[in-house]
A and B are shown apart, each in its own frame.
Chain A
Amino acid sequence: NAGVTQTPKFRILKIGQSMTLQCTQDMNHNYMYWYRQDPGMGLKLIYYSVGAGITDKGEVPNGYNVSRSTTEDFPLRLELAAPSQTSVYFCASSLSGMDGRYTFGSGTRLTVV
């Protein structure tokens, strides 16, 4: 099993550009999550999904969009990138709410200049 796969690993964007961070899991997990981690800080939840077709906002959703058309994929879209979105982005998944064991992807380091 590959677990949770994130692409790309690194990206530099110019202000105002857009991009999609990809996240795929092969564990048939229902719950998926996107977090951002700023230097020296903890994890902040951006969006999450409890199943295909269902998404909800987390703590810091502004400037981001998500979709969940399949169980496996949970892409994060950045529109009109801003320097404040410079961060490391982690995708995670868990089987369910009752079994909340997290598996994290390896992260995407994004710099907006």
Chain B
Amino acid sequence: GIQVEQSPPDLILQEGANSTLRCNFSDSVNNLQWFHQNPWGQLINLFYIPSGTKQNGRLSATTVATERYSLLYISSSQTTDSGVYFCAGTGSGGSYIPTFGRGTSLIVHP
């Protein structure tokens, strides 16, 4: 299966700052998704973004599947953005089972 690398592994921000999280894949990727795991452990699907750009409030995501990467932008960060951000995707080899990255841990200080 494909390999997924997320960067940075850890990120500490002051409230109001902007940030970019990156997800690199070892092969062309399908079904790319971004998730947020809040400090209580709940996993929320932020974006389903096989290609292109989507925006939802202060968050936006861009996927360039042929270049094997995706970016998650967080603008004007808030303390409620804290948690771990995971990306996941499926390879082009026929398996529909997503591979998850190890996550980016984000802490936003007030």
Contacts of B106 in A (CB 8 A): none
B35 on the A face (CB < 8 A): yes
Closest chain A residue to B45, Cβ basis: A102
C-alpha gap A102/B96 in the complex (Å): 12
Contacts of A99 in B (CB 8 A): 31
Closest chain A residue to B88, Cβ basis: A102
The reply to whether A42 and B48 form a contact with Cβ atoms under 8 Å apart is no
Chain A 97-113 interface 0/1 with B at a Cβ cutoff of 8 Å (1 = within)? 11111111011010000
Near A by CB (< 8 A), chain B positions 62-110 give 86, 88, 90, 96-98, 100-103
The reply to whether B102 and A102 form a contact with Cβ atoms under 8 Å apart is no
Contacts of B31 in A (CB 8 A): 98-101
Label chain B's interface by main secondary structure. Answer: strand
Q: Which of A102, A103, A107 contacts B41 (CB 8 A)?
A: A107
The reply to whether A43 and B97 form a contact with Cβ atoms under 8 Å apart is no
B33 on the A face (CB < 8 A): yes
Chain B 21-49 interface 0/1 with A at a Cβ cutoff of 8 Å (1 = within)? 00000000011010100000111110010
Q: Could you list 10 examples of A-B contacts with CB < 8 Å?
A: A41-B102, A43-B86, A48-B97, A96-B96, A100-B31, A100-B33, A101-B33, A102-B35, A104-B43, A104-B45
Chain B interfacial positions (CB closer than 8 Å to A): 30-31, 33, 35, 41-45, 48, 86, 88, 90, 96-98, 100-103
